[in-house]
Amino acid sequence: MRALITGISGFVGSHLAEHLIENGVEVFGSIRWRSRLDNIVHIKDRIKLIETDMRDSHSVVGLIKDTEPDLIFHLAAQSFVPTSWNAPQDTIYT
């Protein structure tokens, strides 16, 4: 089984990835070019990371075609509150 996790570098995404790996699932994760990878450094060698702009439909379609997942967990979003206030439109698009 193959799973795609958008937002894999976040708290929830990283824990979900750990759980899926422990249960024998092949895990793919989408990341932004500026994603911090602290939460997944310990599993980085057991997942496949793909840089993706979730605001670009062609990028998202390509991600799904390239990974051919059985499961998709969409967890990607801008979640830092100060950024939400300073750039609300960007937050909405994530």
Task: Find all residues with CB under 8 Å of 42, minimum gap 6, and list them.
Answer: none
pLDDT computed for residue 74 by the predictor: 96
Q: How many domains does the chain have?
A: 1
pLDDT computed for residue 44 by the predictor: 94
The answer, yes or no, to whether residue 30 has pLDDT greater than 80, is yes
Helix or strand (DSSP H, E) at 6: strand 2-6
To the question of pTM greater than 0.95 for the whole model, the response is no
Range of the domain at 12: 2-93
On whether the CB atoms of residues 53 and 32 are closer than 8 A, the answer is yes
On whether the CB atoms of residues 46 and 23 are closer than 8 A, the answer is no
Reference 30, options 93, 92, 55; nearest CA is: 55
Task: Express as a percent the part of the chain with pLDDT over 90.
Answer: 68
Lowest-confidence region among 4-13, 24-33, 47-56, 78-87 = 78-87
pLDDT computed for residue 84 by the predictor: 80
The CATH number of the domain holding residue 72 is 3.40.50.720
